[in-house]
Each structure stands twice: as C-alpha cells, then as structure tokens.
Structure 1
C-alpha cells in the first residue's frame, strides 16, 4: 500500500480508503451479514487501509462500522464521518428538517455518531454534501459548534464534502475555498477520468492552503456501466465540442474491449491517484474480491503517456456520475 500525507493534518493515509456509502452502503443494500462486514474491514486493514469514511445518512453504516472495528487498535486507523446539511440527508438519518436551523445540531449529530461508532473522538468531521446555495446559512449556523467540539477534543479535523450529482463542477468547494480556506483540513470531491474539473478550479488553491483531498467515486458510475458510457458520450458529442475524446478513444484505453470494463476501471483508479493533490481515494464495496482488485488498481503505476492522453482527451470532462 502506498501512503500519502493528508494535507495540513500531517496524517499518513493509505492511497485507498474504505467508504460505507455508495450503492452498497457497507453491504446494507447487498444483504451481507456482520461476519462478512468484519471480514471486509480485516482484509482492508491487512492490506494497509487506514481511513474509513461513513455518515449518519448511510443507513446504519456508522453502527455497523463500529461493530466491525471493535477490538482493532484505535491508533491504527482514522475515522471520517459527517453532519447532514441537506433535507434529504436529514430525512435519511431520521432527523427533523428544522435541524438545519439549529446551532446545536452538529453537536447532537456528533455525539450520536460517537455512540454508534463506539469511539471517544472522530478524526475528520465533515459538512456532508454542502451545496453552494446553502453554504452561508449552514456555516453561520453550524461552524461555531463544530469548532468548539474540536477544542474539546471530540473531533480532530474539519472537512467538507460535495454533492457531485448536483454540483459536478464543485461549486460549493470553490466557495468554501474562497470564504474559509483556513477552516478546511480536508475536502472530499470527485476526480477521475470522467470528471477532471477539480484540476481546473480546486487543486491549485488546495495546494496553496495545504488541504488534504479525499477523492470519492472516481470510477462510479459511468465507467462501470456501458449504457451510461454510451449516454454520456452521445451527450458530449452533441453538446461538448470542448471534449475531443470519443467512446472509441476510451475503448482503446480499455485494450479495445467495451464489454469487459475491468481494465478501464483499473486505469480509472490509477488515474484518480495520479494527481499529487489527491491524498486518498475512497472505495466502497461489499465484495472482498472487488476490494482487493481496487487496492491493486489504486496502487498500480499508470504510464505517464497514458495520463497525458487521458487529460488531453477528457480534461474538460465534468460528468455528474
């Protein structure tokens, strides 16, 4: 496993991290049992993964992750969780929508997460999917409580995550870096073959402010589904003359095979970690073999000529999935 430094936190993090969101939600959507979850976490740790990301909005993921980590040395891993900032996520975690106007809600959410995870502190506490239109109001309402929690040692670092479906060009992250660059220890966003926009409007500022990047969903969903690839490239052909890359170009990167996406998925993970601003790539799977494959892919060496070609062909890509 390769390791990188997580920005100003100076934490040494594995190039691949494990996330409990996404389509699987730590196996809640795929029907695996607690024994299999524990096995997944053990395999992750045995292969060098030392950062685990979760959220109240991911069903029972926090509680399930806490169970799976029971008995494992707390100093051997980092935990990142979140506080909801959107109505949809509040509903998913069983909270009232009025909490968005409650300055005490971050503390309430944090204390609940600590109980579910069976921990005394959270390493990275993140504003979950904060949208640009809500940024000012949420920050004004929530920030003081979160800073106080850090002062009390309940959290160590403060982060922000984006909603890539609504803001594929990272609008909220741009605003966060403009208004509060000193606040953020970490930022979670998407950077991959099909969305390279962060290289245009985020990475330079992140480097200047020494902020750690958690790269989420770099191959999800388009690269893994041929029908989505066809839709995306048809759309780009009509509406995006600034993206010269074609489906045929992508197929060439996939060794000429559109049916078997394994090669392009592997390149997708390798490309996602090729930018020096990326500290770690988050993968979420409930399948042990997939986890091992993703670990190998993220740690594989991608040829610099291939990286340059991907940027040349798809550098203006901003796919929402």
Structure 2
C-alpha cells in the first residue's frame, strides 16, 4: 500500500471558498449497478466495504465526495456512512436527473429543483450541501436559459442550504454559460476526449471551479497498452491551471490507492 497522500495538495475550487483534494471519490457504484457505462461488471459494496473505502479515501487525503439522486441509493447510504464526519468532507450532489425503474428522467423546474435539494439534505443527514450541479441531459444551454433551475439554485445558496452551484454538462457552450452565471462546471476531459477544454480555459482566467468527470474515460483508458495511461491522464488534467479535481468512481481500494499515488506524483512533479 503506497504512502503517498493528497493531504497537502488540496486546492481552491475556483472562487467558492471550498478547498478540495485533487481527486474526488465518485459514488455511483455505491448506489446503482443498472445502466452504467463501465467496461466490466461490478457488485455494489455492502456497508462494511463502503465504510472501509471511505475511510481509506479520507486517510489518504481525499475530502471530496460526489453523489447524485440519479445514483440509485448512493445519497441514502452516504448519510449514515458519513455520520460524525460532516466537516471532513466537501459534498457534491446534483439536481435534474432521477433514476427510477432502470431509467432516467429529467426535471429542471424550480419546484423539482427545490424538492430535490431538500431531499438530498435529508438523505445526506446534513444542513448544507457544498456544491449542487445541474445534471444535464445534454441540452445544456436550453436548461440554463429556460428552466429556472439556476435561479432556484441561487435562491438556495442565499438561504445557506447550498454553498455553490454549477452544471455537469456535455457541451462547451453550456459549460461557458454555466460558469458565467454560476460557480463551477463539471466537464469531461481525458486522453480520448478533450472537446470541453475551452471551459477549463475560461475557468482558469475567470477564477471559476472545474471538476472533471470521466478522467479515465470511465475506466476505458486503463485498457489501452503502452505508456502508463493513468499517469498520462493525470498529467493532462493537472497541467491545466483551471482543473481543481478529478472524480474517480472506483470501489476497488487498490485502484483508489494507486490513483492517489499517481496523482500525488504528477502534481508534486508539476510543482518542482
């Protein structure tokens, strides 16, 4: 087990006032095993395994945890699993996508947005969520301009129920609009897909937050031969001044430790 940790490598998430570890733990696999795009099948970990994974992440310097209503029972499980540890974590959740009976449906209306955040607060057993992202269906610009979701999130921020908000989107135009009017964007950026890089460029200039999803292309990048794909992926991400953190969705403790070691090595090298 490697001794490299991320404790001294936390960085600001744009201008949100939040300080995050360069890797975050994604928890879709704690709550849902249907309709997920991973190269291999998996079994949802039981509570003891999930508790060990969270303890390992925290021990090795991860303070960022990413969940969503669309991740099945992820939020409900995290509430009890994180009891007594609230201040140790920066919690990211989402609004807009619901996953029911094996299918996604989307609702970005003000009423549903407020309902969803209140439900997440209850499930996560907390009085505030650090960051709420709009879980886009791909129509990023229309959602931001027409649904009222951002205005509702701004109200919830003023009420102190959330600390920051943004968009987990699929387009450059959506990402740029999300940053102009909000705090953060979650983008896809990996060795196979760099189309959303302009969003990170904008964030770096304007002091906004960027989280990266699919940093290892949902595990697919690890299947390619040749150079060390995990290290190469992290070099791509952490050389970019706009990127605060990459979300890693592993439930394998060894993979988690290896990813932490690789990220720590890349970031320390960058700093020299």
Cα separation, partners in 2 of 1:133 and 1:296, compared to 1, 3 Å: closer
Let me know the Cα RMSD of the aligned residues.
Answer: 2.6
Shift of 1:223: 1.1
- Corresponding residue of 2:127: 120
Contact 2:20 2:64 in 1 (8 A): yes
- Corresponding residue of 1:176: 178
The TM-score, its normalising length taken from structure 1, stands at 0.71
Structure 1 unaligned blocks of 5 or more: 227-249, 255-262, 305-321
Work out whether 1:215 is the aligned partner of 2:228: no
2:70 and 2:53 mapped to 1: Cα distance? 21
Aligned partner (choices 186, 189, 194) of residue 187 of structure 2? 189
1:27 and 1:92 mapped to 2: Cα distance? 11
1:20 and 1:220 mapped to 2: Cα distance? 16
Cα separation, partners in 2 of 1:175 and 1:184, compared to 1, 3 Å: closer
User: Structure 1 residues 279-288 or 28-37, which shifts more?
Assistant: 28-37
Cα separation, partners in 2 of 1:94 and 1:171, compared to 1, 3 Å: same
Cα separation, partners in 2 of 1:59 and 1:27, compared to 1, 3 Å: closer
SS in 2 for 1:108: helix
Contact 1:20 1:54 in 2 (8 A): yes
Q: How many residues align?
A: 253
The TM-score, its normalising length taken from structure 2, stands at 0.83
1:97 and 1:148 mapped to 2: Cα distance? 24
Cα separation, partners in 2 of 1:292 and 1:188, compared to 1, 3 Å: same
1:15 and 1:98 mapped to 2: Cα distance? 30
Contact 1:59 1:93 in 2 (8 A): no
Contact 1:267 1:297 in 2 (8 A): no
Shift of 1:120: 0.8
Work out whether 1:68 is the aligned partner of 2:81: yes
User: Structure 1 residues 146-155 or 35-44, which shifts more?
Assistant: 146-155
Question: 1:21-100 residue pairs with structure 2 within 5 A?
Answer: 21=28, 24-25=29-30, 29-72=42-85, 74-84=86-96, 89-92=97-100, 99-100=107-108
Contact 1:26 1:37 in 2 (8 A): no
1:160 and 1:107 mapped to 2: Cα distance? 16
Contact 1:56 1:82 in 2 (8 A): yes
SS in 2 for 1:135: helix
Contact 1:131 1:171 in 2 (8 A): no
Shift of 1:55: 0.3
Shift of 1:176: 3.3
Contact 1:6 1:279 in 2 (8 A): yes
2:176 and 2:231 mapped to 1: Cα distance? 29
Shift of 1:152: 1.1
2:99 and 2:60 mapped to 1: Cα distance? 35
Contact 2:141 2:177 in 1 (8 A): no
Q: Which has the larger radius of gyration?
A: 1
2:250 and 2:222 mapped to 1: Cα distance? 13
Cα separation, partners in 2 of 1:75 and 1:133, compared to 1, 3 Å: closer
- Corresponding residue of 1:284: 249
Shift of 1:16: 0.9
